[in-house]
Chain A
């Protein structure tokens, strides 16, 4: 029985930038109020073309739960770690607030949570996955089902099937972080 390897596959064709994922995450994970405090986001890509021939895409994002994660490498106190299933975790008690991980993350996925006194980020709603097995709040709430979450080590999972059947890309592949958020093309 292989270990799980969690990942998320996103079909950005369907994203309408409604920010349901951002609010659901804030509510689910007690993210403090404030525009700078969020674990996930939707990027409004630059407008393509010029009036009246225009195009625009929307790209949701969050911690990429990298396979080669820079934050895991540089955290001095092991406050950030990586589970065997790929989820990059934060131990709030060990975080000293040096913010090295925030500097080292190429995705601006982390923020300093004043209420916890530690750096915080997306955890793939690990408390739900390890708890009652529900998918992350962002995936569950998305109106247009942009996000699909699952186990890549299961060849029959939807994420595996999507990656097999459709070409995909990742964010900033040149950084060598091996992100586990896959964007279908």
Chain B
């Protein structure tokens, strides 16, 4: 590919990201000016919408990326090493995106910092997760700095810590949903496990994209071995997720458990059916599994394609889980039901904010990786 073509592509890429960022900033400005009620489509019955699910997506992906980074540092998987730094950087910026979304969603983010410090409720899963984020951020930054400054001997001990905090972050995120007795679709011990596996899956997908595009333009194939390794790993993770998904469905349908049943039906045959069957199942599980586990199909390219599909699939999965969990009214006689379910669809401002956060993450990642200090050592 010629340099000018490279330049054009790069320009397009940054242009796209700038546009996305602008959309996000516009969304933030609108929200600040007109308030949450006018900007967002969440209601008292469905208080958590695409902002929460997207924040979960980015944060879980971040934790998964930290785990993947430490495949090399802790488990000595040399085929993952070329991707390790990339994974750390992306982990940092997906976490940034998650926090950017959270800053928009929370009505008083500064108050949150203050009162979480001076008046925390130790029984609250949000406090647990907050503590986990603190530790996670410290460990992630520690590992990134250690990697960048060449302090290789710190990588393994930090890596062990990283694995622990990553798992803690993922399972605590699941626990936020899991302790809510009011929401039968979420309640129980399943959510922490589900978040852990799906987080790993989403991070694998993002890392596949980072690896494949990291070798462009001017494909040198230097990431191919890693991509293949990642692809195998991803295939196993997807298989695990598929198993979880099957039992999630069975558990929601068998014997029509009240609340859980209607929510599951919303996914399989209700308003979220397209999201579920096309994005979650077909794009998110079936096709990628075929590409990754079927010998003839696996190639760096197909790993990347699977990455695209799984990214969409897990994003949809997070959205569906959050929304379906709230679509079944907890109180009889609710207004505005359609076929017995409450309705929600994201507002343009909410979408703009998510696009903005994603663009921010990608922009920071892209810029960061052009820094010679960062890029030099990696692949």
Chain A residue at smallest Cβ distance from B108 = A96
| Interface members, chain A 109-150 (any B CB < 8 Å) | 110-112, 114, 117-118
Mark each residue of chain B from 170 to 204: 1 if its CB lies under 8 Å from any CB of chain A, else 0.
00000010011111000000000000000000000
Is the contact region of chain B dominated by helix, strand, or loop, or is it mixed? loop
With beta carbons under 8 angstroms apart, the residue of A36, A45, A76, A104 that contacts B182 is A104
With beta carbons under 8 angstroms apart, the residue of A74, A93, A102, A108 that contacts B125 is A74
Is the contact region of chain A dominated by helix, strand, or loop, or is it mixed? loop
Return chain B residues, CB-CB under 8 Å to A108: 44-45, 329-331, 334
> Does B127 belong to the interface (CB within 8 Å)?
yes
Chain B interface residue count, Cβ-Cβ cutoff 8 angstroms: 41
Q: Is the CB of B108 within 8 A of A76?
A: no
Interface size on A, as a range, is 35 or more
A79 vs B127: C-alpha distance in the bound complex, in angstroms? 13
With beta carbons under 8 angstroms apart, the residue of B44, B112, B179, B335 that contacts A110 is B44
Tell me whether A70 and B181 are in contact in the complex, defined as CB-CB below 8 angstroms, given that A75-B124, A108-B330 are known contacts: yes
| Interface members, chain B 309-345 (any A CB < 8 Å) | 326, 329-335
Q: Is the CB of B333 within 8 A of A45?
A: yes
A110 vs B182: C-alpha distance in the bound complex, in angstroms? 13
Q: Is the CB of A103 within 8 A of B332?
A: no
Tell me whether A44 and B119 are in contact in the complex, defined as CB-CB below 8 angstroms, given that A36-B43, A96-B106 are known contacts: no
A93 vs B115: C-alpha distance in the bound complex, in angstroms? 10
Q: Is the CB of A76 within 8 A of B120?
A: yes
A94 vs B334: C-alpha distance in the bound complex, in angstroms? 30
A44 vs B326: C-alpha distance in the bound complex, in angstroms? 21
A75 vs B43: C-alpha distance in the bound complex, in angstroms? 19
Q: Is the CB of B47 within 8 A of A112?
A: yes
A77 vs B110: C-alpha distance in the bound complex, in angstroms? 12
Return chain A residues, CB-CB under 8 Å to B125: 74
List 9 A-B pairs, minimum CB-CB distance, nearest first: A97-B107, A77-B115, A106-B182, A76-B126, A99-B47, A43-B333, A96-B112, A102-B47, A111-B44
**Can you offer 19 A-B residue contacts whose CB atoms are under 8 A?**
A46-B333, A70-B182, A73-B179, A74-B126, A75-B121, A76-B120, A76-B124, A76-B127, A77-B112, A77-B120, A77-B121, A95-B108, A96-B115, A100-B176, A104-B182, A105-B330, A117-B107, A176-B181, A177-B181
6 further interface pairs, Cβ-Cβ under 8 Å (given A76-B121, A108-B330) = A74-B125, A97-B106, A112-B107, A114-B35, A172-B330, A175-B182
What residues of chain A have their CB less than 8 Å away from a CB belonging to chain B? 35-36, 41, 43-46, 59, 61, 70, 73-79, 93-100, 102-108, 110-112, 114, 117-118, 172, 175-177
